[in-house]
């Protein structure tokens, strides 16, 4: 059975889709990690070293505004990642349907069919 898409076309399409997945993953991941970092710094937990030994749990001073900002940023980054992944899956399906539809139209107009081979 002959393929509708050639090998070179498949490789080019795969590279484009991989690039899109990569970019969406990087952008969403950076936003998510930045948001988590902001939220953690908003907790007021001292860093490692002498500050940890000197200050106990009674010295924590959480900044709730910073925590909310960080969690909102992290949620936005996660949403960007998920929406991008769902969007590329949608694009793959629609491209496949379009390619198959165009191939069947071409075959119908030229009078070819699977049984002709």
pLDDT at 82 (0 to 100): 96
Both tokens assigned to 26: 């990087």
**In terms of pLDDT, which residue wins out, 62 or 70?**
70
CA gyration radius for the chain? 26
pLDDT at 27 over 70: yes
A 10 A CB-CB count for 35 gives 20
Closest CA to 39 of 62, 16, 17, 14: 62
pLDDT at 89 (0 to 100): 93
Q: 3-class SS at 110? A: helix
Average pLDDT over residues 35-47: 82
CB 64 within 8 A of CB 42: yes
Average pLDDT over residues 36-64: 68
pLDDT at 7 (0 to 100): 85
The per-residue pLDDT of the chain, averaged, comes to 82
What is the spatial distance between Cα 97 and Cα 27, in angstroms, rounded to a whole number? Answer: 29
pLDDT at 100 (0 to 100): 84
């Amino acid at each position: 059975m002959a393929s509708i898409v050639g090998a070179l076309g498949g490789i080019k399409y795969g590279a484009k889709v991989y690039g899109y997945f990569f970019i969406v993953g990087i952008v969403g991941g950076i936003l998510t990690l930045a948001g988590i970092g902001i939220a953690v710094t908003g907790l007021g937990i001292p860093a490692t070293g002498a500050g940890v030994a000197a200050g106990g749990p009674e010295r924590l001073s959480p900044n709730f505004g910073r925590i909310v900002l960080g969690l909102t940023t992290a949620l936005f980054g996660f949403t960007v990642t998920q929406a991008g992944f769902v969007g590329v899956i949608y694009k793959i399906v629609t491209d496949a349907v379009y390619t198959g539809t165009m191939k069947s139209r071409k075959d119908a107009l030229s009078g070819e069919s699977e049984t002709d081979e």
